[in-house]
Amino acid sequence: MRRVTFRDPAGTERTGTLTDGEVAFGNRTYDLDEVELLPPVDPSKIVCVGLNYSDHAEETDSEIPDRPLLFIKTPNTLASPGSTVQLPEDKERIDFEAELGVVIGSQCRNVPADQAEEVIAGYTCVNDISNRDDQRQEQNWVRGKAFDNAAPMGPVLATPDEVPDDASISLRVNGETRQDSTIENLIFSVPELIEEITTLMTLEPGDVIATGTPAGVGPLSDGDEVAIEIEGVGTLSHDVAAGEFAGTVEHDFMPNL
């Protein structure tokens, strides 16, 4: 099942299901172009994982971590499918990062890896948009990772039965493939991530774990159209609007997470 949160033609927010290009709610069905898709969940927090694909660690000349590298994105970072993300002004490099988002279904703490499936509601697509200018200058990455609309998410919450263990994940910018991998290549698996994170904090229903990005990370420019596709979930599309400096200057790689 693929669940969607949407605004119907009357402007009312609903939760329904997406099947064959139609959204169903109650006894009504809508064509996709009749509704406005919203982020499929309303998380209290997005827990993000850095350097969780070995090819991405390699492209950034970074060592593979011996434990998951974690940081937080706050609810203000959410952006809807199909939206235009306004990037911070006067930044030289703001990058895209396609990620599998794991949606938590129940309040949980200290979950063993072998019981992790019990707390997963499903999966979605996340773009971990990253402001490298400021990320390089601070340790907590608030400016680098938690600016408004820095986490486009959607288009659906796909239940676990929809997403294979080796699901493909890809990202296209203006139709050109920039990232292409499978979630089978995660260094730390989804169950391992849930076990590690829940030793530190309580996860609430609707919270999201963004599991890291594969190789191919690169800069965004004003007007770019981004499409993230994960097998079993679908395609999260959005575009960006940016100041004149965004995406125009190349830098040596830092450990981009």
pLDDT tens digits along 144-191: 999 999 999 999 999 999 999 999 999 999 999 999 999 999 999 999
d(Cα 21, Cα 102) in Å, to the nearest integer? 23
User: What are the tokens at 179?
Assistant: 């990232």
pLDDT digit string, tens, across residues 14-28: 999 999 999 999 999
Q: How far from chain centre, in Å, is Cα 45?
A: 12
Q: Where are the domains of the chain?
A: 1-38, 39-241
Q: Which pLDDT tens digit goes with each residue over 222-241? A: 999 999 999 999 999 999 99
- Mean pLDDT, to the nearest integer, of 105-127? 98
Q: Tell me the one-letter amino acid at 134.
A: D
Q: pLDDT band for position 255 (50/70/90)?
A: low
Residue 116 carries which DSSP code? G
Query: For residue 32, which phi and psi values (nearest 5 degrees)?
Result: -60, -35
The CA–CA distances, whole Å, from 252 to 8, 58, 59, 89, 255 equal: 46, 14, 11, 21, 10
Which ranges constitute the DSSP H helices of the chain?
54-59, 132-135, 142-145, 190-198
- Report residue 2: phi and psi, to 5°: -115, 110
Are 16 and 23 a contacting pair, CB within 8 Å?
yes
pTM, two decimal places: 0.94
- Is residue 115 a contact partner of residue 106, using CB atoms and an 8 Å limit? no
Domain covering 39-241: architecture? Alpha-Beta Complex (3.90)
At the top level of CATH, the class of 1-38 is mainly beta
Average confidence (pLDDT) over 36-64: 94
Return d(Cα 45, Cα 67) in angstroms, integer. 21
